[in-house]
Structure 1
Amino acid sequence: MTMDLTGSPIDRQNILNNPDFIENIQVFLGITGMLYDGEYRFTTAQIADFYEVNDRTIRRYIESSERELIHNGYCILKGQKLKEFKQLFGHIIYSDIDEVPQKDIDVPLSKQETDKQKLNRLKALAVFNFRSFLNIGMLLTESERAKSIRSTILDLVIDSLNQKVGGQTKYINQRDEEYFVAILREPEYRKEFASALSRYLDMGNAKYSIYTDAIYQAIFHENASDYKQILKLEDKENPRETMYAEVLKLIASFEIGIADEMKFKYEELNRKLTPLELNDLIGKFTQHRFWIPQLEDARIKMASRDYGFREVIHERLEKYIQSIPSSDYQKFLGDRSKTLQERIDENIEVFKRLKER
């Protein structure tokens, strides 16, 4: 799967939401601008000049993708902020003023005015920060320079990810410190569910895999074999070792919740449940309204992270794919992220106590 930067808002946002990458590519490209309010800024004319297109082309993209560009830092300076900006950079933007469109100003400009008079009459000015500068470059199809930068971006994205995770994203979920907590607790919840199946369900040993799949289907619409095929896991690999902490926690909630419901039903009937009765119980359990936000959150996280980090699509969850938030980049690739082995080494005494239980 390859990113489609000109056609996919999610692919663009997945790159623009990665703060470390934005900083690295800015250094790599050597692009600065006018430093204002903690960020480098660029006028419409400067953007057009860099990408070697005319101003009208840039304005057309602003009109068609304004919400996205604003989200990534494009803005129109007015009032006190514009006054400050003109005081700092008026001498630089003189040449841009004649080309500023009506959207950027609310006073018509006369060509007979001096540069200083034009600047004084300027009441609004559109500016881009570096994120929205890149955003425009991802959108522009008319610019060869933009095309070249898109290629550079994709190469750097792959390189930075490979450097961080050694080219192996299959277990990127384990870099989250919450995963470490989840796997410490998971065996106890799993054991409780397996015990309930043994005590309260009248069925052979196939029930353990069948009803594990039933929970997977309820949460993310895939059974274990579907999931392993999508992530290209080997037969010996455990799917749960590749699942995100939030998904593991929701599976655990389902397992202990269904275990309790099975016990209540067993005591009510004074006999073991049939498979049909357990199927009905799981169906009703899943339909409880308090699960709706948790199920939606887990599906969004699984679908979006696997698309962005692992470059795979869960077809049954495709409608849940969103851009990866900046917080997730910090969680899985930032300073607080570590391999599972690093966390085990830091908490070896905890693992020793667990083993002695």
Structure 2
Amino acid sequence: MSELTTSAVARSNVLNNPYVISELETHLALGGVSFEGETAFTKSQVAQILEITERTIDNYIASNGDELIKNGYRVIKGQALKNLRLAYVDETNFADISNKAPSLGIFSFRAVLNLAMLVTESERAKFIRSKMLDMVIDVIAQKTGGNTKYINQRDSDYLLTAYSEDVYRKQFTDALKHYLEMGNTKYGIYTNKIYKAIFCENAQEYKKILDLAKKDNVRDTMYSEVLQVIGSFENGLATQMKEKSEQLGRKLTPLELDELISQAENNAFNYPHIMMARSKMASRDLAFRDALHQKLEQYIQAVPQGDFEKFLGEKSRSLQEQLSAPETLAVLKRLKDR
């Protein structure tokens, strides 16, 4: 819970999740008034909700204004202020807005939640933070059937990406077989070296972080963007291994393949894709799986709203549902017949 008060990324991962926000608005029932298509709260109301003073709110606006504005805090005046006064013309709320004030700061529901995540002086804010975290867990569990291990597969791009990556994987293992002078341990060793080049972990480290069983296939749990980078890496290495082996007239040594991997990892063309894969893995696993990749901690960013739509929204489907869809089967058949 304390992380919400100290981490902008943690706060954004709640506020960017529209399903959590919708559930919280229903369950917390904080009041407010409907204004310009959303629920609005005055500073006085927010002070009562969080059991703090308006001066305290002013202090948080001064120190965290950009974040609060991004999440719906704004100052209105002119016709907008007149319209808000009309919205409050009931006996209970009208006195909340002075007729003499030339402008007024108002909070959206998201901005109220944002402030509740920042305020450390209030037991009420602490209670709301606790409800937020419970709701995050409940919503993700509800949307994923209680298991986030394969949440990556709910992405509509996953199935076709995984199919393509299998093709590149086969090309790479064939290249290891034909062009690398090493025993059968080479398949596991060089799979791990590719993983470490792309996301800094070997398969065993990855499994431990995601609490996967020994029999679990790590690639079945990877996001489509990560699989695309792995596939590109494997495809490029397979091509380079063949060319270099034919040029030398012999199989490559492990040191020679290590050099190719190092060159690929540091290649300027690959760099943006590798950085993207690290960020996607680190950020999404923290938000959706509550899994921290310590070696990727510097790449963690707030998960955008589009990702919540991708993995939890109405268009997201389990792999079983995708496999039963006629349009998906038609695409897979075309790929198979190529």
**Native 8 Å contact 2:179 2:251 kept in 1:** yes
User: Structure 1 residue 276 and structure 2 residue 255: aligned?
Assistant: yes
How much does 1:172 deviate?
0.8
Q: Is the 8 A contact 2:179 2:245 kept in 1?
A: yes
**Per-residue Cα deviation, 1:197-241 (whole angstroms, up to 9, x for no partner):** 112111111111111111101100011111111111111110000
Residue 299 of structure 1 and its aligned partner are, at CA, apart by 0.7
Aligned to 2:243: 264
Q: Deviations over 1:240-291 (max 9, x none)?
A: 0000010001100000011111122122212211111111111112211111
Shift of the alpha carbon at 1:35?
Answer: 2.0
CA distance in 2, matches of 1:289, 1:8: 32
Q: Structure 1 residues 352 and 178, CA, compared in 2 at 3 Å: closer, same or farther?
A: closer
* CA-to-aligned-CA distance 1:123-174 (integer Å, 9 cap, x gap): x321110100111112222222222222222222222222111221111111
Q: Tell me the secondary structure at the aligned position of residue 5 of structure 2.
A: coil
TM-score (norm 2): 0.92
| Alignment RMSD | 2.2
Q: Is the 8 A contact 2:245 2:251 kept in 1?
A: yes
Q: Does 1:176 align with 2:175?
A: no
Q: Describe the SS at the equivalent of 1:226.
A: helix
Letter aligned with residue 8 of structure 1: S
User: Contact conserved, 2:282 with 2:292, CA < 8 A, in 1?
Assistant: yes
Q: Unaligned stretches of 5+ in structure 2?
A: none
Task: Return 5+ residue gaps in structure 1 as ranges.
Answer: 98-115
Q: Give the secondary structure class of the aligned counterpart of 2:75.
A: strand
> What secondary structure, in the 3-state scheme, does the structure 1 residue paired with 2:286 have?
helix
**Equivalent residue runs for 1:45-124 within 5 Å:** 45-86=44-85, 88-89=87-88, 92=93, 94-97=95-98, 116=99, 118-119=100-101, 122=102, 124=103
Which deviates more, 202-211 or 83-92? 83-92
2:112 match: secondary structure = helix
Residue identity in the other structure for 1:34: V
Distance in 1 (CA, whole Å) between partners of 2:189 and 2:35 is: 60
Task: Look up the match of 2:115.
Answer: 136
Cα deviation, residue 93, structure 1? 5.8
**Residue in 2 that maps onto 1:155:** 134
Which position in structure 1 is the counterpart of 2:187?
208
- For 1:100, the equivalent position in structure 2 comes to none
Indicate whether 1:249 and 2:210 are aligned: no
The answer to whether the 8 A contact 1:76-1:126 is kept is: yes
Q: Which moved more, 1:241-250 or 1:278-287?
A: 278-287
Aligned amino acid, residue 168 of structure 2: Y
What is the identity, as a one-letter code, of the residue corresponding to 1:204?
Answer: G
Between 343-352 and 235-244, the greater mean CA deviation after superposition: 343-352
The answer to whether structure 1 residue 319 and structure 2 residue 298 are counterparts is yes
Q: Which amino acid aligns with 1:203?
A: M
Give identity over the alignment, percent: 50
**Which of residues 208, 225, 234 is equivalent to 2:213?**
234
